[in-house]
Amino acid sequence: MGPDSTGTTQGADAARFWDEHYRAPRPTETGRPNPLLAEIAGSLTPGTALDLGCGAGGDALWLADRGWRVTAVDISANAVRRLAENAQARGLHALMSVECVDLAKDFPEGGFDLVSAQYFQTMFALPRSRVLCTAAHALRPGGRLVVVDHGSTAPWSWNQDPGIHYPTPDEVSAELALDPVQWQVERADMPRRRATGPDGQTATVVDHVLVIRRTAA
């Protein structure tokens, strides 16, 4: 099987998996944004935003509700459909563009003041560093790339491998190899918080937070 066929197969497997995941609303879906995105973006002036791997859409809806013009993308057609329906029901559809996109093969056009990559991690093959680097280049001057990754294994995580390595914010930044003349790291830390899992269980988890600001075109 050639490289193109392998990529197509992996993309189809990922689409099927996430379509099943988002086939029906989950009990814990509240529509609230990821807390670190709310913390970081809450003080920013609304502009254009891109939500990578939007999932159920809590982040995209929160941004649109605060006046951001949001492009939200996900590989799951079910996730995209439900988000579009929720945006319509909440009267936010005029501020949102919702697209089904396999980011391993494509990337939305346009320039953005904010690109959000919240827990943009998957068990499927994904050229993550390439996607995040493309996202950094899609920023307008003054725009920010906000990457929040898992930094620990929660009890409800799909990957319970005790040997798993969670790249630190500094490691992620190094992988992107962005020119410091054009991009500046504003934040790189590893805060802890109390999180709630899909069945209501709670645990202390670690997040890896990286915020990169584009300083020049």
Query: 156-180: per-residue pLDDT in tens?
Result: 887 788 889 999 999 999 999 999 9
Phi–psi pair at 128, nearest 5 degrees: -60, -45
State the pTM of this model.
0.91
Task: Please give the C-alpha separations between residue 97 and each of 15, 61, 67, 135, in angstroms, as whole numbers.
Answer: 20, 11, 14, 17
Beta bridge partners of residue 50, listed in sequence order = 71, 115
Per the prediction, the chain carries an average pLDDT of 91
The answer to whether the CB of 95 falls within 8 A of the CB of 66 is no
pLDDT tens for 112-136 read 999 999 999 888 889 999 999 999 9
pLDDT tens for 47-96 read 999 999 999 999 999 999 999 999 999 999 999 999 999 999 999 999 99
pLDDT tens for 65-79 read 999 999 999 999 999
pLDDT for the residue 5:
39
pLDDT at 8 over 80: no
pLDDT for the residue 26:
60
pLDDT for the residue 9:
59
Phi–psi pair at 146, nearest 5 degrees: -110, 110
Helices 169-176 and 128-137 pack at an angle, to 10 degrees, of 70
The answer to whether the CB of 94 falls within 8 A of the CB of 102 is no
The answer to whether the CB of 98 falls within 8 A of the CB of 84 is yes
The answer to whether the CB of 50 falls within 8 A of the CB of 115 is yes
Question: Would you give the distance in Å from CA 187 to the centre of its chain?
Answer: 17
Report residue 1's pLDDT band, with 50, 70 and 90 as the boundaries.
very low
Report residue 29's pLDDT band, with 50, 70 and 90 as the boundaries.
low
